A and B are shown apart, each in its own frame.
Chain A
Amino acid sequence: MIITNAKYFKSYGLDTNDIVNATINGVPMSVPMDTANSHYAEILKQVADGDITIAEAD
């Protein structure tokens, strides 16, 4: 899974980030920070492996 342009996003009314917006295999996706979400699990793995970093939210 090729993940690029990963960036945190905080939905309205929340105190913490809840989404990682990223381009996955060439498609822009909004990935909720739910550990049961397979895309988020892969993002965490690639971060842990040092393959990607996630930019801070605006």
Chain B
Amino acid sequence: MGDSLMAKVKITGHASGTGVITVTAPNTSTDRTLTLPDSTGTILDNTSTLDATKLSGNLPAISAASLTNVPLRPNASPLIINGAMQVAQRGTSHSHANSNTNAFTVDRLNINTGSIGEYTSTQESLTSGAAFEAGFKNAARIDCTTADASPASGDYFYAEYKIEAQDCSSFKKGTSAAETMTVAFWVKSNKTGTGQLNVRDTDNNRMCSGTYVISVANTWEHKVINIAADTTGAIADDNGIGYLFEFWLGSGTAYSSGTAPTAWETRVGSDRNGNGTLNINDNTANDWAITGLQVEVGTYTAATLPPFQHRSYGEELALCQRYWSQSATLSGLTGAFVFTAFNTNEAWGGNHFPVTMRATPTVTIYNNGGTSGGCHKLGSPDVTGVSAGTISTTGVAQITKSSGFTADDLYACTYTASAEL
């Protein structure tokens, strides 16, 4: 009997059933063959349970690039400390004189001004806006208080963040497997324009840049900047500066006559603000603020960027204290170190910093009145002309004075300890 050609086969219901089962051929010009199983049973439908014994074999290879709606987290932990600008150990406001380098308000983000106006930096509390809605309650803000609309050639103004070198290894810089980098942050200014971000490798005097555009004044905007991989120049495995991030806010032509490099290059001074147009220095009405700073290994867009990882405040504070720590207040002896005089010029005590610091820190001591270079003799007036000695990464064991201590008396002082990069 030859093949029969038909578009559909209809089978009437089994036994007392009245329904009709229709098997319909697809609309195709290619021969298809369906083979029914050579056994008794029921073909699976949408209510059937799969038998686990029938699921042996290998799964097909799955590309991570094909996955959607899967949170990505390439870094074991955030590379940026205090990216949410929560910690401000030194206080919530700082005045920046005309030339003031490495000055901090929020921890880890410093401001550098070189003969280009004066500023106040603050830790700003956020209560509304897109950055607040994204989960950020604090920002680092800079307000121009004395303008310089015509900076000299060598004048400069930028905010800066430095990552310790031994924390940069995941970028494999200086190897054939070097990784790209993504820098993301929320930014707001009264001025629209282009801001320039430089990523610098100070070990090898190299830099690469990206730019961002502030499109709407006084509005938080999220920026995502991709930085190329660099197969040249490894970063040392030490406690010095690894990557240094510069957010340029204004400059003279010595820093702005070049072009922002999108590939790594030997650092060129004129490129460092080559594409920047913000000029926050040109009017006392100007301000610039940043929060949610994150750095990721790899290349991401705003849509694919891994979510910002919020650490607990306690964790963030402890990480910041590797670079700076101080007594709870600098006057009134709250959280003071205490020393016992051994003779007229030495007093000793086992006084420890909250965490081991990055390097042996610079120490300043304060008396009960909060004046630097002194301490307080318990039960007596403050003592002047005192400095710290026997300093280590873990604490201060000695204070010293040319003469004037009384053996066996107690002396107390508050302190600051700086091991900033």
Contact = CB atoms under 8 A, between A and B. Distances in A.
A37 B359 contact: yes
A21 B365 CA distance: 12
Nearest to B374: A28
B304 interface: no
B383 to A, nearest CB: 13
Contacts of A30: 362-365, 387-389, 391
A58 B402 contact: yes
A48 B398 CA distance: 30
B361 interface: yes
Given A12-B390, A37-B419, A38-B421, A29 B362 contact: yes
Given A32-B391, A38-B420, A38-B421, A12 B362 contact: no
B361 to A, nearest CB: 7
Contacts of A6: none
Contact of B418 (A9, A11, A39): A39
A16 to B, nearest CB: 13
Contact of A12 (B346, B358, B388, B418): B346
B240 interface: yes
B259 interface: no
A34 interface: yes
Contacts of A32: 359-362, 391
Contact of B101 (A1, A34, A58): A1
A32 B417 CA distance: 11
Interface string B344-374: 0010000000000011111111000000110
Interface string B369-387: 0001100000000000001
A36 B364 contact: no
Among B240, B389, B418, B420, find the residue whose CB has the most chain A CB atoms closer than 10 A: B389
Nearest to B419: A37
A24 B360 CA distance: 17
B301 interface: no
Nearest to A37: B359
Interface string B81-98: 000000000000000000
Contacts of A1: 101-102
Interface string A26-48: 01111110101111100000000
Contacts of B388: 19, 30
Contact of B362 (A11, A18, A31, A58): A31
A28 B360 contact: no
Contacts of B363: 29-30
Contacts of B362: 24, 29-32, 37, 39-40
A28 to B, nearest CB: 4
Contacts of A9: 387, 389, 400
Interface centre among A1, A11, A21, A58 (most CB of B within 10 A): A11
Contacts of A37: 359-362, 419
B421 A34 contact: no
A18 B359 CA distance: 14
Contacts of A28: 364, 372-373, 387
Contacts of A12: 346, 389-390, 398
B202 to A, nearest CB: 12
B100 to A, nearest CB: 8
B40 to A, nearest CB: 80
A49 to B, nearest CB: 16
Given A9-B400, A29-B363, A32-B360, A38 B391 contact: no
Shortest 4 CB-CB contacts between residues of A and residues of B:
A36-B359, A28-B373, A32-B360, A34-B360
Interface of A: 1, 9, 11-12, 18-19, 21, 24, 27-32, 34, 36-40, 58
Given A30-B365, A37-B360, A38-B418, 10 more contacts: A1-B102, A19-B388, A27-B364, A28-B387, A32-B361, A32-B391, A36-B240, A36-B359, A38-B420, A58-B402
6 contacts: A12-B398, A30-B387, A32-B391, A36-B419, A37-B360, A58-B402
